[in-house]
Amino acid sequence: MTASGRTRVYFEDLTIGWRFVSRTYPVAAEAIIAFAREFDPQPFHLDPVAAADSIFKGLVASGWHTASISMRLLVEDGPLFGAGTVGVAAEVTWPRPVRAGDVLQVHGEIIGLTPSKSRADRGTVTVRTETRNQSGEIVQTFTGKVIVPRRPAG
Amino acid sequence: MTASGRTRVYFEDLTIGWRFVSRTYPVAAEAIIAFAREFDPQPFHLDPVAAADSIFKGLVASGWHTASISMRLLVEDGPLFGAGTVGVAAEVTWPRPVRAGDVLQVHGEIIGLTPSKSRADRGTVTVRTETRNQSGEIVQTFTGKVIVPRRPAG
């Protein structure tokens, strides 16, 4: 157990079909704009007035903001992997934009477990998540490969 | 031309093999820690001392921080797509971590152009980028699909 009350898990502790659901995370207009100023300075992420004239018809979050929020929820409420959540590859889709005032939640599942061929001390865990808004609509799908160590001896 | 001097490009303006290189972007330890506090609160992103004991042997940026920086460089220095850079899907790999003090640069290429079957006014552009550090090592590959409108009539 850790300070947060979660049990640290190693490769051999995990099973395909392990599911988790995160807490909810509200996305304010100010946060959308602050992220966009630093990382994705486009009018539909920066300015509600310009955004109203865009293809989105309103202010929307950068997809990378959605991905970053989803990572936070995965790190906080997903499995507490032995060496941390260390991703090596990810596939992301954004079927629907995140709008100011949306409340996000991550629903996740372990869908793959592949022992390393070259390193006996680890394996690759494939995690799939859906990030949903307050209406249950999917705003992001994510499939990622995480390196997870086997339980240390002793 | 726009205020930034770049020409806005539409689907029919683009060709496979179009290449671009961004400016350079230095990544400070403080920025790595600030991003991690908000989006990826794990010890190897938050604390140089704890990070020294991690599998990374030092402070490293969240992969989502690398992705977000790469987006900024793509938005600033990639093609100025007609409706903005609106991604619908992405594949990302992080072959090597980004460390405090690294200087990143994005090298990009258009690798696919697919007219929309259902919407005559747009197409999908596939962009591939490599984000490289000051030693030329690849810290991220990205392949993304961007919706790009055809040139408006008139």
What digits encode the pLDDT tens for the residues B26-76?
Answer: 999 999 999 999 999 999 999 999 999 988 999 999 999 999 999 999 999
Q: Are A39 and A62 in contact (CB under 8 A)?
A: yes
Total tally of structural domains belonging to chain B: 1
Please determine, for the modelled complex, whether the ipTM score is greater than 0.85.
yes
Model confidence at B3: pLDDT above 60: no
Among residues B25, B4, B49, B46, which one has the least CA distance to residue B134? B25
Q: Using CA atoms, how far apart are residues A150 and B2, in angstroms rounded to an integer?
A: 54
In 3-state terms, what secondary structure has residue A102?
coil
Element (H, E) at A71: helix A63-77
Distance (Å) from the C-alpha of residue A16 to the closest C-alpha of chain B?
23
Domain membership flag for residue A3: no
Model confidence at B153: pLDDT above 90: no
Domain membership flag for residue A154: no
pTM, to two decimals: 0.95
Domain membership flag for residue A16: yes
B contacts of A35 (beta carbons < 8 Å): 68
Question: Would you call A91 and B89 a contact, using CB atoms and an 8 Å cutoff?
Answer: yes
Confidence of residue B4 (pLDDT cuts 50, 70, 90): low
Amino acid at B140: Q
Pairing verdict, β B138-149 and B103-115? unpaired
What digits encode the pLDDT tens for the residues A40-98?
Answer: 999 999 999 999 998 899 999 999 999 999 999 999 999 998 878 888 999 999 999 99
What digits encode the pLDDT tens for the residues B102-128?
Answer: 999 999 999 999 999 999 899 999 999
Whether chain B has a CB inside 8 Å of the CB on A63: the answer is yes
Model confidence at B140: pLDDT above 90: yes
Distance (Å) from the C-alpha of residue A63 to the closest C-alpha of chain B?
7
Q: Is A117 left (phi over 0), alpha (psi -120 to 50) or beta?
A: alpha
Domain membership flag for residue A1: no
Whether chain A has a CB inside 8 Å of the CB on B93: the answer is yes
Pairing verdict, β B103-115 and B19-26? antiparallel
Domain membership flag for residue A54: yes
Amino acid at A73: L
Question: Would you call A83 and B55 a contact, using CB atoms and an 8 Å cutoff?
Answer: yes
pLDDT over 90 for what percent of chain B? 86
Q: Any idea what the Cα angle at residue B104 is, between residues B100 and B106, rounded to 5°?
A: 155
Q: How many CB atoms lie within 10 A of CB A51?
A: 23
In 3-state terms, what secondary structure has residue B91?
strand
Name the phi and psi angles at B110, rounded to 5. -85, 125
Question: Would you call A76 and B44 a contact, using CB atoms and an 8 Å cutoff?
Answer: no
Report the residue from A41, A71, A89 with minimal CB separation from B75. A41
Domain membership flag for residue B2: no
Model confidence at A4: pLDDT above 60: no
Q: How many CB atoms lie within 10 A of CB A59?
A: 25
Best probe of the A interface among B35, B86, B121, by most A CBs < 10 A, is: B86
Residue range(s) defining the domain that contains residue B28: 8-149
Domain membership flag for residue B3: no
Q: Using CA atoms, how far apart are residues B77 and B80, in angstroms rounded to an integer?
A: 8
Question: In Å, how far from its chain's centre is CA A33?
Answer: 20
CATH number of the domain enclosing B143:
3.10.129.10
